[in-house]
């Protein structure tokens, strides 16, 4: 907002009114003053196309569960549209949940679109702490619009045309962060944490390649970068879920205590289903699903991973 004219849209008029009067998002980002120049709007999604008629860029910042509805509402939009959500949608129109670019192909095929991703806790971005992001789209004008809007002294934005790879990284790291939180909550040690991150990166990459991504994307900010951040940083909601499960909390208690979305909880099953469909082995993600579904207790999940047959490092 310091460099551009920005409007923040909320679906809930009462929430928009509270943001206007408080100049702060008390529930979701307390302690961060909203810039005076930021316009705060609310309407029904059906009114969004008119609101976005003169926009140079539209950014969707809902959980994955809200992405389909907003892409549908924006399908005639002429400006580039980018989403920040990281995950797979729960299954809606077929047997498997979809990534953002797959949803766009279904509901808004003519939209110029992409994702802004990479290691970025919202609180640190809002405080102006140094952050590097990835602007991902197969369409150059979308990447350019994102770089132009967000590249600044505190945020470096790198462009990448491998949208599928960037999205797989952003989704799978959430599942792996639950595993790492569990590992740290059980006090299994730093060796175990490094092993989980490294083997997690291997399974993330395998799924990505099977979904048409490039291997090098997983060595970048949206792969290794976001995995390291989310798996080791205590600001991560996904990591917190793992830590709390390790303390004996139920999944419901862990989710309720967050008050924010932990996408890994909602997309872990889809990650494993899509991997199975593609013949991709993802043992860590599978152990997380068994844990979330109550088939394994935390220490049994660790035993299941450690008890696997010896294999080559591929």
Ligand X SMILES: O=P(O)(O)OC[C@H](O)CO
Q: DSSP string of 235-299? A: T-HHHHHHHHHHTT--HHHHHHHH-S--HHHHHHHHHHHHHHHHT---HHHHHHHHHHTTSS-HH
* Residues 201 and 224: beta-carbon distance below 8 Å: yes
| Sign of the alpha-carbon dihedral angle for 2, 31, 17, 83 | positive
**Is 173 marked active-site?**
yes
Q: Pick from 22, 26, 28, 154 the residue near ligand NAD by CB under 6 A.
A: 28
How many residues at the interface with ligand NAD, by CB under 6 A?
19
84 binds ligand NAD (CB under 6 A): yes
Which one, 205 or 238, has the nearer CB to ligand X? Answer: 238
* Residues 141 and 194: beta-carbon distance below 8 Å: no
Which of ligand NAD, ligand X, none does residue 138 bind to, with CB < 5 to 8 Å depending on kind?
Answer: none
Helix (H) or strand (E) holding 72: helix 67-73
Taking the C-alpha atoms of residue 129 and residue 180, their distance in angstroms, rounded to an integer, is 25
Q: Pick from 49, 66, 138, 283 the residue near ligand NAD by CB under 6 A.
A: 66
Taking the C-alpha atoms of residue 314 and residue 46, their distance in angstroms, rounded to an integer, is 48
Which one, 26 or 276, has the nearer CB to ligand NAD? Answer: 26
Smallest Cα–Cα separation from 157: which of 87, 71, 82, 88? 82
Binding pattern for the stretch 112-151 against ligand X, x by CB under 6 A and - elsewhere: -------xxx------------------------------
Residue 59 labelled as part of a binding site: no
How many residues at the interface with ligand X, by CB under 6 A?
13
Of 68, 101, 112, 173, the active-site residue reads: 173
237 binds ligand X (CB under 6 A): yes
Residue 109's Cα: distance from chain center in Å? 22
CA dihedral in degrees (184, 189, 190, 191; nearest 10)? -120
CA distances from 240 to 18, 184, 185, 259, 287 (A): 28, 10, 9, 12, 17
* Residues 42 and 9: beta-carbon distance below 8 Å: yes
Least Å distance, CB 145 to ligand NAD, is 18
Least Å distance, CB 89 to ligand X, is 16
Which of ligand X, ligand NAD, none does residue 135 bind to, with CB < 5 to 8 Å depending on kind?
Answer: none
Mark the segment that binds ligand NAD (CB under 6 A) among 49-57, 116-124, 143-151, 182-190: 116-124
Taking the C-alpha atoms of residue 231 and residue 197, their distance in angstroms, rounded to an integer, is 7
Among positions 185-224, residues that touch ligand X (CB under 6 A) are none
11 binds ligand NAD (CB under 6 A): yes
Q: Which residues bind ligand NAD (CB under 6 A)?
A: 11, 28, 61-66, 69, 84-87, 120-122, 260-261, 263
Residues within the interface to ligand X (CB under 6 A) = 86, 119-121, 174, 177, 226, 229-230, 236-238, 263
- Active site positions, annotated: 173
């Amino acid at each position: 907002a310091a460099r551009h004219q920005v409007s923040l849209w909320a679906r809930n008029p009462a929430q928009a009114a509270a943001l206007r009067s408080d100049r702060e998002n008390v529930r979701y980002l307390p302690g961060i003053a909203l810039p005076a120049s930021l316009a705060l709007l609310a309407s029904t999604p059906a009114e969004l196309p008119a609101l976005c008629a003169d926009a140079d860029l539209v950014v969707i910042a809902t959980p994955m569960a809200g992405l389909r509805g907003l892409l549908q509402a924006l399908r005639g939009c002429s400006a580039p549209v980018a989403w920040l959500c990281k995950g797979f949608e729960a299954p809606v129109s077929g047997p498997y949940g979809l990534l953002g670019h797959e949803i766009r192909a279904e509901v808004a095929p003519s939209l110029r679109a992409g994702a802004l991703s990479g290691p970025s806790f919202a609180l640190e971005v809002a405080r102006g702490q140094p952050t590097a992001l990835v602007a991902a789209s197969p369409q150059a004008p979308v990447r350019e619009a994102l770089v132009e809007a967000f590249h600044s002294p505190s945020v470096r934005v790198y462009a990448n045309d491998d949208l599928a790879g960037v999205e797989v990284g952003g989704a799978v790291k959430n599942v792996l962060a639950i595993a790492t939180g569990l590992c740290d909550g059980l006090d299994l040690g730093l060796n175990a944490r490094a092993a989980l991150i490294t083997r997690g990166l291997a399974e993330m990459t395998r799924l990505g390649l099977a979904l048409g991504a490039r291997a090098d994307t997983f060595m970048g900010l949206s792969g290794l970068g976001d995995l390291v951040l989310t798996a080791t940083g205590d600001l991560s909601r996904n990591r917190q879920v793992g830590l709390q499960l390790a303390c004996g909390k139920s999944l419901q208690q862990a989710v309720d205590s967050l008050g924010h979305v932990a996408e890994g909880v909602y997309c872990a099953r889809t990650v494993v289903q899509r991997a199975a469909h593609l013949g991709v082995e993802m043992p860590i993600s599978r152990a997380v699903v068994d844990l979330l579904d109550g088939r394994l207790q935390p220490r049994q999940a660790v035993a299941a991973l450690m008890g696997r047959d010896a294999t080559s490092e591929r």
